[in-house]
Amino acid sequence: MKELHHECGIAAIYHLESPIPSKLAPKEGPEHVSRLMARMLLDLQNRGQLAAGMTTFNPKRDSVLSTYKQIGTVIEAFRLNHPAKFENIMRDHAGRAAIGHVRYATCGKNDRDHAQPFERYHGRKWKWFAMAFNGQLTNYLDLKSELLNKEDYYLMRDVDTEVIMHYLSYELRGDDRPDLVQVFKNLSQKFDGAYNLVFMNGHGDMAVVRDPLGFRPLSYAIEGPLFAAASESVALSNLGFTTVKTLQPGEMVLIQDKQLRVERFAEPRTKTAHCFFEWIYFANVASTLDERSVYLSRSALGKELAIQEHRLGLIKPDYNTVVVPVPDTGKAAADAMAFELGVPSVEGLMRNRHIGRTFIEGNNRVDRVRMKFSPLREVLEGRRVILVEDSIVRSTTLKSLLSLIRERGGAKEIHVRVACPPIIAPCFYGIDMSTVAELYAPKFMRGKVITLEEQQAMARELEADSLFYLPLDAIARCIRLPQERLCRACITGDYPTEAGERMYQLALRKHDDGGGNGRTYEGGCGAPV
C-alpha cells in the first residue's frame, strides 16, 4: 500500500503562566517552549513529508504571532542538520506557545505558500490568528461556492484549508471578542467530513479541535503548566508525558485567559467514524489511538490471517515456508501470523530508508520500487514465501515487489496475504483515492464480498501463486472497536456522512461514463493539506 498518500499531522504546545516551569520544558525556559515543536513534528513525520511549519506566540515580541514554514521533511524544513541555522530559527520564533503541521496533500501546489499553518493578519489581536488542519471537508465545493457567491470574496489557494480560514474569519467578525466554543459550534453545523484543527490568536488563545465524528485521531497531555496535543500519542510520550488522553469527537481543548479547559462544541453522536486505516497503515506503530494500540491491532490482524489460513487450508506450511512482511507497516501482522503458523518470520525485503516513500517520489513507481526495496536472495531463494501486505489499493507497488522477489530473490512460490479487506470504494475524508477507476479490487469483484474465485483471478493477474484478503468483520474485531464506531466506507461503500455518500454516487457516475481518471472532487480540490 505504499502507493497511498499519507495524512497530515497537527501539534500544539503551551506553557501556561506559572512560577514553577514544567520539568518537560526546555532548559531555556517557558518563553522557548516552541523549541519542542520540531521534536513533536519529527514524531509525526510519517503523516506528511512535503512541508513542515509552526506558528508561535510571544506577547513580548512586536509580532505576537510568528509563522515559520518550509518545503521538505522536518529535518530539512527546520534545518536540524545545521545546528547554527536551527538555533537561529528557534531564537527568531521563540514563544511560550506554538501550533505545528506536517503536510501531505492530494492537491495544491508543492510550495511554501501551501504549507501550514496558515496565518491571517488583522489589527485586532483576537481577529489575528493562525491555524493548521488535518482532514478533508467533503462538502468543500458547496462551501467554496457559497463563499464565492458573496460579494468580493476571493480564494488565493484552491484548498479547503483556506475555505476553513475564511469561515473562521467570518465567525470572528464584529466588535466584541467572540466565544470560541460557540465559534466552533457554528462551524460544525456547516462542515461535513474530517477536520482536526489547531488554532491560536494574537491574544494567546489556543483551541485544539476534533470533529464530531472523530475521523482522525487526536491526543493531548498536561503536566503541571505544560500542555501539548498531537495527531498521535507517540509525539507526546516521547516528550516525556506519562498520561496521554484522547480528545473525544466533538470536544475541544481551549486555553483562554490563562486557563485551560476541555469543552464540548458539538453534541455527542451515537455513532463515530474513526478511520480504521489509521491502525492498519497510517499511524506510527508506537501510537495508541482512541485507547487502542496500533501495534496490538496490527498483531491481531496477523493472528486473524493465520486463523483464516488454518480454516481454509489454502497452503500447508512446511520447513521451506517463510513469512515476509512488506516493510514497514506489514511487520507486526507478519510476525504474529508466522508465530501462529509455526514458521519463521524473516526480513526478506530490505527497505532503503534514504529513499522517500514511493508515492512522494513521483509517478514512475515501478522504477522507484526497484530502487527502494532489496530482496535478500540468501533468505528467499528456493523458499515458499508468504508475503504479508497491509492492503492493496492500486496494485502497482505490489506487482513490482512480486517481480523483485521472484526474479532477484529467487523465491519458489509467493503467496500474498493482505491484512485488510478489499478496497472497493473511494475515500473522501482525507486519503488520496477518490476514484473508482484507480482501485484494484473492483476490477475483479461482482459484489461487495470477495469470493475465492475472484481472489484467484487477482493472484493470476499479479503473477502470485495465491492471494487472500481478510474478511470484512475482522477489522472491528482486531481493533476491538464496534463497527458503528469505525469509518469503513472504502471497504463497504457505506459512508458515514451525507456529503460522502453524494461524492460516492458522483464517483460511480464518472466511472460509468468513462471519466474516472480525474479526482472526483476536481474543479475544486478538497485536499488533506
User: Residues with catalytic annotation?
Assistant: 8
* Grid cell digits, residue 304: 486473524
Whole-number Å distance between alpha carbons of 459 and 269 = 41
Spell out the residues 6+ positions from residue 453 whose beta carbon is closer than 8 angstroms to its own: none
Torsion of CA 527, 298, 328, 275, to 10 degrees: 0
Whose cell is 483471478? That residue is 457
Sequence letter at residue 76 = E
**Is the backbone peptide bond immediately before 327 cis, with ω within 30 degrees of 0?**
no
Instruction: Identify whether the C-beta of residue 80 lies closer than 8 Å to the C-beta of residue 126.
Output: no
Report the candidate in 91, 96, 41 with the shortest Cα–Cα distance to residue 64. 96
Instruction: Identify whether the C-beta of residue 127 lies closer than 8 Å to the C-beta of residue 203.
Output: no
Alpha helices in 12-159 (DSSP H): 36-43, 74-77, 83-92, 140-148
Sequence letter at residue 242 = T
Instruction: Identify whether the C-beta of residue 39 lies closer than 8 Å to the C-beta of residue 98.
Output: no
Whole-number Å distance between alpha carbons of 458 and 440 = 9
Whole-number Å distance between alpha carbons of 356 and 4 = 13
**Is the backbone peptide bond immediately before 328 cis, with ω within 30 degrees of 0?**
yes
Spell out the residues 6+ positions from residue 198 whose beta carbon is closer than 8 angstroms to its own: 10, 11, 12, 99, 100, 101, 117, 131, 132, 206, 207, 208, 209, 229
Neighbours of 312 (CB within 10 A): 10
Q: Computed over its alpha carbons, how large is the radius of gyration of the chain?
A: 23
